[in-house]
Amino acid sequence: MSEGTMAVVKPEMKSYIWVQTADGSIQQVEEEVAMFCPMICREVLQTGMGSSKNYAISLPQRVNPATLGLILDYCRFHQLQGRSNKERKIFDEKFVRLDTEKLCELASAADSLQLRPLVDLTSRALARMIEGRTPEEVREIFNIPDDLTEEEKLEPLRNITDDPHIRLLNRLYARKRKELKEREQLKSIENEEERVDKRSVDDLLSFINGGDGDSKGVRAIKNKKKNRKRKDQLPRNSSSTNGNGDHKKNDTVDNVASPNKSSKFQDSEPVTFSPNLEFVEDDMDDELDPAMREEIDRFRQAAVIQMTDDHFSQVAASAVSSKALEERTVPEISPQIPACQKMLENVGKWGYNLLL
Amino acid sequence: MGSGFSFHSRTNPPSPELSLGDLPEGCVASVLVYLDPPEISRLSVLNRAFRGASSADFVWESKLPPNYDSIIRRVFDDFLPSDLCKKELYTMLCRQNSFDGGTKKAWLDKSTGGVCLSISSRGLAITGIDDRRYWNHIPTEESRFGTVAYLQQIWWFEVDGEVEFPFPPGTYSLFFRLHLGRAFRRFGRRVCNSEHVHGWDIKPVQFQLSTSDGQEAISQCLLEESGKWIHCHVGDFVVEKFGVPTTIKVSMTQIDCTHTKGGLCLDSVVIYPSEFRERLKLF
């Protein structure tokens, strides 16, 4: 079907081209007007479409009927040869007095139809609206959502000229990217920390009692620092196999460990604790099963709580309770205080299981 | 957009409003062509389409001077890496690039892309420059080149300069950048020492300019002490077509030997596009 091409146009019989917009509506357009658009022109010449309603040329998606109307008005004016430049200019200036949305639609549609003069005209009008404004203003006026991710905004700039300002800026961006990553890592860590150890004290006791012998117990006593760490890590992994050194919650341990270097806890079997034993913080840990260390911690915690039931005041009890352990406030026990005296008596009963 | 009817009337189905944020990158680039470079860079943070469009080659090609490759060849002896995009080329040219052994600098004005050029005092032929009784080179931070030529006193004052450069078509103005009196900083403040300034108010200084295609300009000027750097306008010249580098010859003389003159700091000869005269308030 190649009738729609350059037929001779008689004055009383104009020829029309059929076009179809993306919404499905088909309309006919005067041929000479439509051929002003390079895209339509090419379609007609190459494929012969547009000669009848059934063979309407499908226009690109960006051309909706209203915009098509505008474009055709433009083409109709400009395709007439006899117009002077001044006339065209006046028409153009009036033509682009549209609101921003219509202008954008027009620019987009003209671009898809490859109508370069109209693209230039609308672009110039849009540029006139944008120029002199800050990006925030442009964003407000044109309602442009920000679709750049934080990371994309912090991409380093290519510094060919070795400009010191750009170097500094890149360094700042690198630092911000690092912070962003750390924040994200922290978020994922927090999500993991929800796990709680639900085992009862009895289970732990039996586990400990059925566990290894004295030597381990002694060793367990010594390193309070690492035990603290174990306890803190408990919520995360009850039977962990991870290493010890990566916790920063050392201060309680230090408070606890330093005053008298006495043992905290051992398993239920009484253990003779020789005061000469040094606290060597680092080297003992590797010999003790981390899981065991955790259980020992737990048990000690529970034991202390039990101990406090008899004679302590509530305050003292809470002070040495697990909560205090968590909050790293360990009260000093001096023999003068009656409650403390009682506690020390109890210590004698239990053997060396005093945590302070 | 999906009403799905098809008859001959022009209907207006409700369609989502298209805004600037929905334009494809190619359209955005067409818009950016009509903005100036600082604006283009500023808008690159708006959204992804703007960011991509603000680095588009065809946007920046329109900002570069038409003969930018001959400028690059003239200014950069060791050639630039060939993988630079047009935006990076523009950035490089906007720097104050030294050439001819550091005696001259050329750069593009970053808003308009106009070519500017400066010849330092070391690139000018100054009569008596070797004689320390007359002229000295003194370092200063007030000059693009870091040093100026300071005249103590002389009878025959003559400075000549010459440069050959591929100027893009346009009109350019030429100036001498001078300072009467010697400026330095004391206690963080700028102090001007005018002990040697004399002889400039007796007879005016003559300026002369000539180009390789026959344009000439002459002017004269009575120098006055103002404690500031003055740009003495020598003249304008027009470059009509590119492809042929223009050679400019300029001279500044005061050779009336009945009196001595001195106390002058000579920094450089500068060539700007003529539009800058109002912008920089140069006279």
- pLDDT by residue (tens digit) across A148-165? 777 777 788 777 777 888
A334-343 own/partner pairs: CB under 8 Å, 24+ apart: A339/A311, A339/A312, A339/A313, A340/A316, A342/A310, A342/A311, A342/A312, A343/A307, A343/A308, A343/A311, A343/A312, A343/A316
Ramachandran area for residue B214 (φ above 0: left; ψ -120 to 50: alpha; else beta): left
For residues A193 and A236, the answer to whether their CB atoms sit within 8 Å is yes
Q: Which one of A68, A160, A166, A173 makes the best mutation probe of the B interface by having the most chain B beta carbons within 10 Å?
A: A160
List the single residue in A24, A108, A145 with the smallest CB-CB distance to B6: A24
Q: Do B46 and A120 touch (CB under 8 A)?
A: no
Give A25's contacts (C-beta < 8 A, 6+ positions apart).
A65, B3, B5, B6, B7, B9, B10, B11, B13
d(CA B60, CA B87): 6
For residues B43 and B32, the answer to whether their CB atoms sit within 8 Å is yes
List the single residue in B3, B22, B51 with the smallest CB-CB distance to A148: B51
Mean pLDDT across chain A, nearest whole number?
68
DSSP A98: -
CA-nearest residue to A153 within chain B is B45
Collapsing DSSP to helix, strand or coil, B68 comes out as helix
d(CA B63, CA B108): 10
- pLDDT by residue (tens digit) across A254-309? 444 444 444 444 444 444 444 444 444 444 444 556 666 666 666 566 555 555 44
List the single residue in A26, A64, A124 with the smallest CB-CB distance to B6: A26
> A323 to chain B nearest CA, in Å?
50
B192 strand-pairing partners: B183
B266 strand-pairing partners: B149, B178
Residues of B in contact with A138 (CB under 8 A): 20, 43, 46
B158 strand-pairing partners: B253
Q: Do A135 and B45 touch (CB under 8 A)?
A: yes
Q: Do A65 and B13 touch (CB under 8 A)?
A: yes
Per-residue pLDDT of chain B (283 residues; tens, 9 = 90+): 444 444 444 444 444 556 777 788 888 888 899 998 988 988 888 888 888 888 888 899 999 999 998 899 899 876 677 778 888 889 889 989 999 999 999 999 988 889 999 999 999 999 999 999 999 999 998 999 999 999 999 999 999 999 999 999 999 999 999 999 998 888 888 989 888 899 998 999 999 999 998 999 999 988 887 888 999 899 999 998 877 899 999 999 999 999 999 999 999 999 999 988 877 665 4
B253 strand-pairing partners: B158, B206
Total-model pTM: 0.64
List the single residue in A119, A135, A160 with the smallest CB-CB distance to B42: A135
Residues of B in contact with A148 (CB under 8 A): 45, 47-48, 51
pLDDT of residue B13: 46
Q: Is B138 on the interface with A (CB under 8 A)?
A: no
- pLDDT by residue (tens digit) across A64-96? 888 888 888 888 888 888 888 888 888 888 888
Q: Do B18 and A101 touch (CB under 8 A)?
A: yes
The structure tokens listed for B71 are: 């400028």
